[in-house]
Every structure is written in C-alpha cells, then in structure tokens.
Structure 1
Amino acid sequence: MKVTAAVGALITVSGIILLVAFAIQSGLLGPLGRVILAYSLAVVLAVAAVVVHRKNPGNAGVTASGAAAVITSHITTAVLVHGLEWWPNWLGTVVVLAVMGLGFLGARAWKSVAFLMVGFVISFIAASITVWPRMSDAFDVIVLILVPSVAAAWVWHDREHRGVVSMTAVVLYLIGSIGVLGTAEPGWLAVAAFIGSGVALAVREFLDDDVTEGVEGTVGVEPAQRERSGPEQWALVMPVPGAAEQRGLRLLPLYFLAWTTAPLLSALGPGPTFAPTVALVLGLAIGVAGFGPWKARTDPRMNAVRWAGFISAAWPALHLGSMDSDGSWTRMPALILAAAFIWVHVFRPSQLGKVLVVLWTAVALATNTAALVLTMFAPSYLLEHRFRIDALDVPNVTLSALLIGVMALGLIAVLVARRDRAEMFEKGAALLGLLLTAVPVIIVLTTAGVRFSLAHVLVSIGWMIAAAWMMLAPKRHNVDANMAASLVIATVAVLKLVFYDMQAMSGLTRVSAFLLCGLLMLGMVVARSLRDRNADLSEGKEAKGAKKISDAHATVTAGRAPATADGHADAGETPDDWGRPSPS
C-alpha cells in the first residue's frame, strides 16, 4: 500500500509538471498563470491530505498527498527564483521555509515519519538551490546551514523513529556545511552558523534521555536492597542482551557531531589560521563539556563527548603547528592538546580495569614525544634536515620544558590515581615522572634568574623531600613499597647533589654535604621506625583493652548462669567433634 501511494505521488507530481508544460506550449497560460496553477495544485493536494487524514488517519495516501504538495510548492518556488527571476533569493528562501514549517507541523500532527523525511530532504534541496547562486548573501547562508536540519531534529519526538530523523538531520547538516564553509561571505558568519547549528543539534541529542533508557540493568539485586546498601555493593551492572548495539545506534548522531565538527571546520573553514584556531577551541570545549555537571560522569553521552572533543582537537592543533614555519606561538596548541587530551585516556574508567593502563600510558608518552618535537622545532626546519635529530639545534626551550612537565605530572598521576592498588608499573611510572620534573623546574628557575647550579640543588632537595614524605607515610599504607621507593629516590637525589650539583665545591665541602645527606637518610629511617613502633604499641593497647572488655563480659555472663536441680550452676554445653552439643 505504501509503495503504491509513493508511486501515485510521483505520478501526480510528474502529471502537474506535464500539465504546466502543455499549458505553456499551447499558449493557454502566461507566466503568472503557470505560477498560480502550480501553487493551486499544491494547495489542493494539501487540502486533500488533511481531509483524508480526518476520515482515515492510517491511510497511506495522506503521506503521499502531503509529500506531493510540498514537492510541487518547492519546484514552483525554484522556478520563480531562478527560471523566471521574478523573486529575489531571500523571498524564495522565506517561502521554502514557510512550506517546510507547515510540512513539519503536519508530519508531527499526523505522526508520519515518512512525510517528515520527504519534506525535510526536499526542503533542504530546495533551500540549497535557492541559496547557491548567491553564496554572498549572509541570510541565505544561515538558512541553508541552520534551519532545515535543526528544525527537523527538534520537531520530532517519537522515540521509535527518533534516531533515523536525528541521523538524517546531522548528515544533511554536514553536507550543507561542506558546501558553505570557505565559500560564503562573510566567513565569520558562516563559521558562527556552522557552530550554532551543530550545538543546537547536539543539545537536542544530549538532552534526550531515551538514548540510554532501558539499555542497562542491575543484576541480582532487588530495588529495596539496592536502596539500603552502599553503591559498592551493587555496582555490578550487566548489559541487557543487545543493549550495547541499541545504545550505539541511539548515540550515533551525537558521535557524528562530536567527532566531525572540529576537523571539518579546520579543513574547510575560512582563513589560514582563523578556522583552525576556532576549531581547536571548539574541540577542547567539547571535551571539557564532558566533565560538566549536567549529566553523570558515567553517562555514555558524557564519555562520548570527552573522547571525541579532545581527540578531534588533534587535527586543528597539528594544522596550526604545521602552518607555522618560522615562529613558535601557534605550536602552543600542541602543548594544550598534550595536557588536555593525552593523559585523560590513562585515567579513563574501563570495564577492563587496569588492563589498558600500560597501553594508554605508552600511547601518551609516544604522542607527547611527537608533540615535543613539533613544539621544539619549526616544521620547515625539520623538513630541511630530514628529521635528523643530530642536525637540530636552537630548540624552543620554554615550550619543550612545559611539555616535559606535562609528561612528568602525567606519569606521577598514574601512581596517585591508583595508590591503593599500585603495582610495579605504577611505581616505575611515578619514579620516571619524578626524574622528569627536573627539566621544567630547572628551566623555569633559570629563566627567573636563579643560577643553574643552585636550581639543580633545589631540585635535589625537592627529591629528598618527596622521599621523606613517602618514607614517613602512615603504616596502614604499603610499608615495604614506600620504604623501597623512598630509598631509591633519596639515593638518586644524594648522588646527584654530591657528584653533579656541587662540582664547583672543594673536596671538604663535598664530603660534608655527602655526610649530611647520609645523616638525613638515617634520620628518616629512624623517624619511620619510631612511627612504626608507636603504631604497634597503640595497636597492642587497643587489643588488650578489647580483650579485657571481652573477659569481663564473659565473667558477668557466667555469674548469671541458672542453677541445676542439684544446686550447682550449669556450665553450659560444649559441642563434640561432630558439632553436636554434649554435656561438659
């Protein structure tokens, strides 16, 4: 029935075109008569669709008649704008939008997704045809990018076909953006329309809680029990069969928007640096939005936005860096990207737990190293020397030091984030990060006017303080691990301080410093031993107090035991080897 209705609508539209052509050939109608005839037929088809819907809402002819009316109206408008050139572009655009709005309202009232999709696609094409000859018209640019896709996405609320409508709106929005970015004037208005329409589409998808509804369930825990217990007791959430695929399809429009907007704007936007800069800020803003308070951090939409935002910011950042052939200020986005994007994935919650920590840390270090090279040296210099490291000189010291500082803090954070369950990898990463902190600290201090040797001494002292902090940690933490790590750090700090930082000092001064460091390490060990002994004594006193209370309670209970028939107190029953009670 639906196929027949669609064929009938196509035949009807073709018949209208043939009728108008015949009237033109016969000389029966002038230009004005043709326009009036075409619009009249469109109105007749729309009225027929309304009448049929009132009598039989489920009739397939309703959608066919409504679609035929919309198509006829749009074709007539296009002829008036481009064929006869009677109307200016802006007037044709207004008529197209008005007809599109009526079609959307009719589709929503009739709950016909087919009518909505046909009207949406045809209206988008008609708006594109109306705008294209006048790409310098700012109003038409906004109409082409913004109105049809956003209106279609917001007008439809039926959950069953929500994903299809949203995905179509996103795809046509991206297609329209490809045709307009970089060609429309003024360029800033095209970029603003592109970002505004993308945000409007994303907000519609982000606020739709249906995308995650019914895709997960708590297994084996009753709701009443879940309310009484803590989150850690019912955190096992198992997916409903087919829930992952269902949720992925519902989130597909949001994925497309979050992953493509920043790279598309950077590649096609106006200006050599304007569009990439705006795209970089947009990508980072999308990533930061994933940490906002509007949804739970574990919501799949928040996770998708975080991933897509920071990763998609990579392209405009590298785009800016590659275009800067001599200076260094535009390579600062590479540093921002390393700080905001790379290390986020190291601490990303995963169902696999710690399995991917090593992998993501390696990826972070490799990517940071590439960004470090890009930050230190101009791309033209790299190409000139064919990436030969031995031929590179005059690095950008400040930016490279900051980037190494980012790497160091990321490695230390690997241990801090997992300090309760840290293993050899986390400890090694933190130790490497602590060693790397020397580079940015020394460069910052020397830039501020501190002598180079004194800056090294301050770094060594900082390492000693870190070692003391770890060694004096409370006993309830991992004693052996803290002790071993603190000794390693302290040993490295002492060796660096005595044999490198104090090279200009005389032998007696160096020996004195070495002796002082040794005494400091011994003092740390003694202080730790005293803390452990005090902790043991405190635990022993608490255990003795608890035992006395238990004995007193047992004595009171025995004194209150009932007497037997012979006048003696019943000492109770004790179980035999099989667990059965036997008289004592």
Structure 2
Amino acid sequence: MTGQDRFADELAAIGQRLVAISAELRVPLPAPAPMPAPVQMPAPQPAFPPPPQPVPQPQQAFPPQWAPPQPPPPRESVLEKLGKDGAGSKLLAWVGGAITVLGVVMLLVLAVQRGYLGPLPRVLAGAVFSGVLIGIGLRLHRTPASRTGAFALVATGIAGMYLDVIAATSLYEYLPGWAGLLVGLAVAGGGLWLAMRWDSPVLATGVVAACAFCAPVLTDGFTPMLVAFLLVLKMASTPIQLQRSWPSLAVAGGVPPIIASIAATGTHVGTPEAWATAGMAVLTAVLGVGVAILTVRRRPDDVVPVLLVAGSAFPALIATSLLEKPVASALAGVVAAALLALWMVPDLPRPFATSAGAVGMLALFQATVIALDGTSRTAVVLAEAVLLAFVAVKLERRSALLASAVFGAIGLLMTLAGAVPPRWLLDSPGFVATADLVAGMVTALVLAVFAGVLPWAATKLSVVREPGKHPVPWFASGVVLLYGAAGFVLCAALLLSPDETGFLFGHSVVTVSWTIAALVLLVRGIDVLPLRVAGLVLVGAAVLKLLLFDLAALDGIARVAAFLGAGLVLLTAGTRYAKLVANRKISANGWS
C-alpha cells in the first residue's frame, strides 16, 4: 500500500470518529447533582486515532412461514418394513386372503369335475360364502385396530363373488354372457367404490389383481369371454383411476386385458372364434387408449398413461393375423391414423405423444406391408419416409425425423434386396419383366429423393451441421443418392432396350450424368461451401467409376461414349469453373 492510500484511510477513520462523537454529544444527559467540578486537564490524544469498531448488525430473522428445506427421508427397505410393529399381521391377513381366493377357485373347478350339486347351488354357495366374508369385513372396519383384517376380508369376498359370476357365466352357463358381464360390473364397481370410500388403494388393487389372476382358470384358458370380463374390471376401475392417483390400480386394471387379448389371438388363429377374438382386441385398444387420454388430461406428469397408450394398441395390431388381408390392412391403418393424430396434438405431454407416435409409425408400416407386396411396397415405404421428413420440419419434432430415418433405412434394405438389387448395376441382369423395371425405376427415384430430403430436414432441425463439420451423414446420403439415381437411369435404359445394349448404354449415361451434376453443383456452389464440396466429391466418384468399373465392364462404343462424354464435361466444367472463380476474385478486389 502506498503512502497516499494509507493517508486516505487515516483521514476516513478520523471522519468516522468525529461523526460518532457528534452523535454522542446530541444525546441529552440527566442533570447531575450540583457539586463543584474539578478542573481537569484534557487527556493527551494519540497521534493517530484508533480505527472505528464495526457496529454489530441485527440478525435478520427468517419469516415465520419459511422453513429450511428438509432432505427427503430415506426409503425403507423390505426388511425394515417387515420389522415394523403390525407388519406381521398385515402380511398374514393378505396372504390368508389370497389363499382363500385360490381355495374358492379350486372348489368351483372341483365341483364341476366331480359333479357336486347343481349349477344353481354352486353359484348360491359361492355367493353366500363371499357375502359372509364381506359382512365380517364391514363389521371389523368399524374398529380402527381391526381395519387391516377388514381390508383383507372385504377384498377376498369381493374377488370371490366376482369369480363366482365368471364361473356362473363361463363354466356353468347359468347366466348368459351379457347378463354375467353386467353382474360382474356391478360387483366390481361396488367393491372399488368401497375402496375409494375407505381411501384404500391396497384394497382396490387387491380386488382387481385377484380377479384378473384367477379368471383364466374359470374361463378354461384365454378366450374372448375372459377378455370381456377383464375389460369389465378396467371399466369399473376407470372412474377411480381418474379421480385418484393410484398407479397400482391403473396397472392392475390396464395390463391384464392386453396380455389376455394377445394370448387369445395366439390360440384362436383359424378357429370359429377368430372374429370374436379380433373384436375383443379392438375393444381393448379403444378402451385402453381412451382411458389413457382421459388420465393424462387430468395428470400430465403420470407415467402409467404413457405406457398404456402404447401397450393398448398391440392387441389390435396382433389381431390382424386373424383377419383377411383387406380387413387386416384397414384395421392397422385405422390404428395408425388414430395414434398419429394423437401424436400431432400440440397440447398433449411430449412423452405421451411420442409414445403414441412410435406405435402409430409401427401400425403405419404394418398396414403398408399387409396391403402391398413386391416392389410397390418398397416405393410406398420410401415415400412415407419422405413424408415423415417434411412432417418433422413442419411440426419441428425430431421424433418424426427419427421415424423418417427408420422408414428410409428399411426402404433402402428392401430396395437392395429386391426392387433394385446391386447385381442390376454391376452386371447385365438379363430378362426382367417390364412391371419390375417400372417399379424399380419408381423406387430408385423415391430413394434418391429421400436421400436428398433427409439431410435437409436434419439441418433444419439442427440435428446435423454443414458437411465441413459433420461429413459422415452427408457422405452416406450422397452414396444413397447416387445409387438411387444410377438405378433410375439403368431401369429406364433397360425399359428402352431390355438386353446388354441397354445395360451398357445406361452405365454410359450414368457416368456422364454424374459429371453433369458435378458441374451444376460447382457452378451453383461457388459461394456455397456444401454444394461446392458435393460437386468436388461427385467429380471424384465419376472418375473412380470410369477407372474401376467402366474401363473393365464396358466395351466398344459404350466405353468410348462414357470416357468421351465424361472427359468433355469435365473439361467444360474445369474451364467454366476457373472463369467463374477468376471473375469472383476480380469483383472481390474491385478490379475493372
């Protein structure tokens, strides 16, 4: 510290001391008793006054409503939960209830096998037994200490009564199907209403899970009737699912119909119940997607609707194997249209919309594969990829761009496998049907368009950058574009002359067209780096094709035409491009 800075600090300290003394002198003091005041000599002052002491500031208290954030309590392990007081009683009660439900199911099955009593006494005995359990549970619920047992007893009784209704409808055929479903809806709805009144998600989940788990035993496997009874459980649980955030209930009510419908489809292919099974699969999809939409509208952050909107559509897609081709493709198309419409709704949560869109893309592909065959299928898949790329740019959704890339990759593999195989480009394919050549020409053209549109869309969405920074995607797209263009030219040449002459002529045109395209890119890209780079790369590709393929595969006039045409175009390109570059430099430097 310099001398000037030290002197300035001392002056500031003296000033603060004088201010403090002035404030003390202004404070009135009480009058002292009269007494002679001795004459005192002033105390010697130090050469430098002491520095002012810091005045303590009052602590700022937090507002009374504020409290420091508390860390979340640690999650209890399973052993800690079991070690709590009363955990053993809960475990015993619910295990006992589960065993009792299984006992009721085995009793009903055994009564059929052994012929115990008649259908009506069996149904009445099951209903009376379940009613007694429910009554005991209602009575125990009045005492707070007995409510654990009350929940278990009521859940057991309601599940037993619902299974009794299934048995009366499916096993004994005492009730017609529609009546059994209505009675089952009343039983399940009453039990779930009681669970909501008692505010017990465990009771609600226990009722639905027990009924869903034991129902296949009483319906003799996975049948359309089983799917119907499971959908009744889902319908009964939907009002509670919309009002209460009980994920366990949503899973217990939504997953079993999906699994049962898929299993029923696998066991009823070619049977008289195929149409009924497909109808149940469609109903499962409609109810599942509808409930998922209602739930996500009420609770946008809920994860369960995201899973259910995707899973609910699979039974309908798998059920297409039970239907004839036109109906199956129409069903897959309707599912695709519905889910893609959800995907485009702007105010739906992004995870929910993305889940619906992913399954919608799968349904769209399935509808295309079922409806079409051969090379026309490949062209349509590639056209869908192009459309999805434009949709991605329009809606600014990268998920659509990913779907476009997936569709395009599948279309490329299908093109290489059948529509325009590489052997057509490497060797004379011999006789090819006119229809296949036309389809190949269209497919190759759409493939080339896709190869140009995809990087453009990726650039618009900031997924890839210019070729100088991200060259790999652009190089891959360029290779696919060249393959599509070459396939288009060769198919067109073979249409004009379906023999080796057409093959040789087509390759000559391909080589010359590559050089012409390179010239256009260089001229257009004199101020645009990506176009200029693409033009130079295309020049290199044309030269490599001349030396590695045309020189060996072509002969006679075709080889001469390829070399002369490419050489003249390259000479023209070099001359024209050099002139443009020179004029650009002159304009930039201001020469006349």
Same fold (TM over 0.5): yes
Question: Within 2, Cα distance between the matches of 1:495 and 1:30?
Answer: 88
Question: Over residues 217-273 of structure 1, what are the superposed CA-to-partner deviations in whole Å (9 max), with x where a residue is unaligned?
Answer: xxxxxxxxxxxxxxxxxxxxxxxxxxxxxx6x8854455446x5476335xx31464
2:255 counterpart of 1:170? yes
2:322 aligned partner = 270
Greater Cα offset, 117-126 or 360-369:
360-369
Report if the CA contact (8 A) 1:131-1:144 is conserved. no
Which residues of 2 match residues 154-303 of structure 1 at below 5 A? 155-157=240-242, 161-162=246-247, 165-166=250-251, 169-180=254-265, 182=268, 185=272, 187-205=274-292, 208=296, 213=301, 251-254=306-309, 256-257=311-312, 260-261=314-315, 264-265=318-319, 269-271=321-323, 273=325, 277=329, 281=333, 285=337, 288=340, 291-294=343-346, 299-303=350-354
Following superposition, the deviation at residue 166 of structure 1 comes to 2.3
Following superposition, the deviation at residue 20 of structure 1 comes to 12
Partner of residue 112 from structure 1, selected from 196, 200, 214: 200
2:531 aligned partner = 482
Call closer, same or farther: CA 1:470–1:146 in 2, change over 3 Å. farther
2:466 aligned partner = 421
Call closer, same or farther: CA 1:469–1:185 in 2, change over 3 Å. same
Question: Within 2, Cα distance between the matches of 1:367 and 1:402?
Answer: 13
Letter in 2 for 1:264: I
Call closer, same or farther: CA 1:61–1:527 in 2, change over 3 Å. same
Question: Within 2, Cα distance between the matches of 1:159 and 1:293?
Answer: 25
Which residues of 2 match residues 11-410 of structure 1 at below 5 A? 35-36=123-124, 38-40=126-128, 42-43=130-131, 45-46=133-134, 49=137, 56=144, 59-78=147-166, 80-81=168-169, 85-124=173-212, 140=225, 143-144=228-229, 146-149=231-234, 151-152=236-237, 155-157=240-242, 161-162=246-247, 165-166=250-251, 169-180=254-265, 182=268, 185=272, 187-205=274-292, 208=296, 213=301, 251-254=306-309, 256-257=311-312, 260-261=314-315, 264-265=318-319, 269-271=321-323, 273=325, 277=329, 281=333, 285=337, 288=340, 291-294=343-346, 299-310=350-361, 329=373, 332-333=376-377, 335-337=379-381, 340=384, 368-370=412-414, 372-374=416-418, 394=432, 396-410=436-450
Report if the CA contact (8 A) 1:262-1:313 is conserved. no
Report if the CA contact (8 A) 2:169-2:176 is conserved. yes
Which residues of 2 match residues 432-471 of structure 1 at below 5 A? 432-439=479-486, 441-442=488-489, 464=516, 467-469=519-521, 471=523
Letter in 2 for 1:191: A
User: Structure 2 regions of 5+ residues with no counterpart?
Assistant: 1-88, 110-116, 422-426
Question: Within 1, Cα distance between the matches of 2:483 and 2:103?
Answer: 77
Number of residue pairs matched by the alignment:
460
Report if the CA contact (8 A) 2:222-2:264 is conserved. no
Greater Cα offset, 430-439 or 284-293:
284-293
Following superposition, the deviation at residue 156 of structure 1 comes to 1.6
Following superposition, the deviation at residue 299 of structure 1 comes to 2.6
> Aligned-pair RMSD on alpha carbons?
5.9
Letter in 1 for 2:352: R
Following superposition, the deviation at residue 164 of structure 1 comes to 6.1
Report if the CA contact (8 A) 1:413-1:430 is conserved. no
Question: Within 2, Cα distance between the matches of 1:212 and 1:33?
Answer: 49
Call closer, same or farther: CA 1:176–1:211 in 2, change over 3 Å. same
Which residues of 2 match residues 513-528 of structure 1 at below 5 A? 518-519=571-572, 522-527=575-580
Question: Within 2, Cα distance between the matches of 1:176 and 1:426?
Answer: 42
Question: Within 1, Cα distance between the matches of 2:259 and 2:107?
Answer: 37
Call closer, same or farther: CA 1:211–1:486 in 2, change over 3 Å. farther
Report if the CA contact (8 A) 1:9-1:68 is conserved. yes
Question: Over residues 178-216 of structure 1, what are the superposed CA-to-partner deviations in whole Å (9 max), with x where a residue is unaligned?
Answer: 1256357564453243134224324544552798749xx
What TM-score do the two structures reach when normalised by structure 1? Answer: 0.57
Question: Within 1, Cα distance between the matches of 2:581 and 2:339?
Answer: 44
Question: Within 2, Cα distance between the matches of 1:473 and 1:342?
Answer: 25
Following superposition, the deviation at residue 316 of structure 1 comes to 8.1
Question: Within 1, Cα distance between the matches of 2:565 and 2:167?
Answer: 96
Partner of residue 472 from structure 1, selected from 509, 514, 524: 524
Question: Over residues 530-584 of structure 1, what are the superposed CA-to-partner deviations in whole Å (9 max), with x where a residue is unaligned?
Answer: 46765776xx9xxxxxxxxxxxxxxxxxxxxxxxxxxxxxxxxxxxxxxxxxxxx
Question: Over residues 460-479 of structure 1, what are the superposed CA-to-partner deviations in whole Å (9 max), with x where a residue is unaligned?
Answer: 6697367535643473x43x
Question: Within 2, Cα distance between the matches of 1:390 and 1:288?
Answer: 43
Letter in 2 for 1:442: V
**What secondary structure, in the 3-state scheme, does the structure 1 residue paired with 2:184 have?**
helix
**What secondary structure, in the 3-state scheme, does the structure 2 residue paired with 1:421 have?**
coil
Call closer, same or farther: CA 1:10–1:95 in 2, change over 3 Å. same
**What secondary structure, in the 3-state scheme, does the structure 2 residue paired with 1:111 have?**
coil
Question: Within 2, Cα distance between the matches of 1:465 and 1:208?
Answer: 52
**What secondary structure, in the 3-state scheme, does the structure 1 residue paired with 2:532 have?**
helix
* Larger gyration radius, structure 1 or structure 2: 2
Question: Within 1, Cα distance between the matches of 2:567 and 2:350?
Answer: 55
Letter in 2 for 1:299: R
**What secondary structure, in the 3-state scheme, does the structure 2 residue paired with 1:173 have?**
helix
Call closer, same or farther: CA 1:492–1:33 in 2, change over 3 Å. closer
2:49 aligned partner = none
Question: Within 2, Cα distance between the matches of 1:13 and 1:434?
Answer: 65
Which residues of 2 match residues 535-554 of structure 1 at below 5 A? none
Letter in 2 for 1:428: F
Letter in 2 for 1:329: D
Question: Over residues 359-393 of structure 1, what are the superposed CA-to-partner deviations in whole Å (9 max), with x where a residue is unaligned?
Answer: x989965873356425579xxxxxxxxxxx99997
2:478 aligned partner = 431
1:242 aligned partner = none
Call closer, same or farther: CA 1:441–1:375 in 2, change over 3 Å. closer
Question: Within 1, Cα distance between the matches of 2:333 and 2:161?
Answer: 42
**What secondary structure, in the 3-state scheme, does the structure 1 residue paired with 2:189 have?**
helix
Letter in 2 for 1:408: A
1:550 aligned partner = none
Question: Within 2, Cα distance between the matches of 1:496 and 1:200?
Answer: 58
Call closer, same or farther: CA 1:496–1:153 in 2, change over 3 Å. same
Greater Cα offset, 82-91 or 194-203:
82-91
Call closer, same or farther: CA 1:415–1:56 in 2, change over 3 Å. same
- State, as a whole percentage, how many aligned pairs show the same letter: 16
Question: Within 2, Cα distance between the matches of 1:262 and 1:466?
Answer: 50
Question: Within 2, Cα distance between the matches of 1:30 and 1:488?
Answer: 86
Question: Within 1, Cα distance between the matches of 2:146 and 2:581?
Answer: 82
Partner of residue 411 from structure 1, selected from 445, 451, 471: 451
What TM-score do the two structures reach when normalised by structure 2? Answer: 0.57
Question: Within 2, Cα distance between the matches of 1:57 and 1:332?
Answer: 71
Report if the CA contact (8 A) 1:442-1:459 is conserved. no
Question: Within 2, Cα distance between the matches of 1:448 and 1:273?
Answer: 32
Question: Over residues 49-97 of structure 1, what are the superposed CA-to-partner deviations in whole Å (9 max), with x where a residue is unaligned?
Answer: 5566577599223422332332332344345446665433332232222
Question: Over residues 469-513 of structure 1, what are the superposed CA-to-partner deviations in whole Å (9 max), with x where a residue is unaligned?
Answer: 5643473x43xx53343244368779999x999x979x99x9799
